[in-house]
């Protein structure tokens, strides 16, 4: 689980500088980035303890990283600053939800430490 939280923190740093395929503004980029985090939480909620402990990164999480990379390029093109993205992302973090135990743990980490 700790490895995954580190992965998500790294994803957060990537998203901090980000932009999105359909996002035409820094706000749109933040919206898409939060969707990536929600998708990751949803994916974690589906996983068993054995799957989490295996250390194998699920394909869905790899795809989310690719989406975040695309957002990063678009943010750079739009000129979104790290500080602006941090503010936008943290303002949206309260919209994240989780149904399962592992997703709840991830949310607690985000709530206590923020996305960045």
* 85 and 17 Cβ atoms separated by less than 8 Å: yes
Dig out the tokens for 50 from the structure.
Answer: 């054995």
Cβ count within 10 A of residue 12: 23
Boundaries of domain holding 42? 2-113
pLDDT at position 116 is 61
pTM over 0.85: no
pLDDT at position 15 is 42
Tell me the pLDDT of the chain averaged across its residues: 79
CA 103/CA 4 separation, integer angstroms: 11
Q: Structural domain tally of the chain? A: 1
pLDDT tens, residue by residue, 49-94: 888 888 777 777 888 888 888 998 999 999 999 999 989 998 999 8
């Amino acid at each position: 689980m700790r490895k995954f939280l580190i992965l998500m923190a790294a994803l957060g740093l990537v998203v901090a500088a980000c932009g999105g395929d359909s996002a035409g503004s820094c706000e749109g980029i933040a919206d898409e980035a939060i969707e990536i985090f929600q998708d990751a939480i949803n994916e974690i909620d589906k996983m068993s303890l054995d799957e989490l402990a295996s250390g194998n990164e699920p394909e869905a999480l790899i795809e989310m990283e690719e989406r975040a990379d695309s957002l990063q390029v678009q943010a750079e093109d739009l000129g979104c600053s790290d500080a602006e993205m941090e503010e936008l992302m943290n303002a949206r973090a309260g919209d994240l939800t989780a149904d399962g135990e592992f997703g709840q743990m991830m949310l607690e980490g985000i709530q206590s430490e923020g996305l960045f």
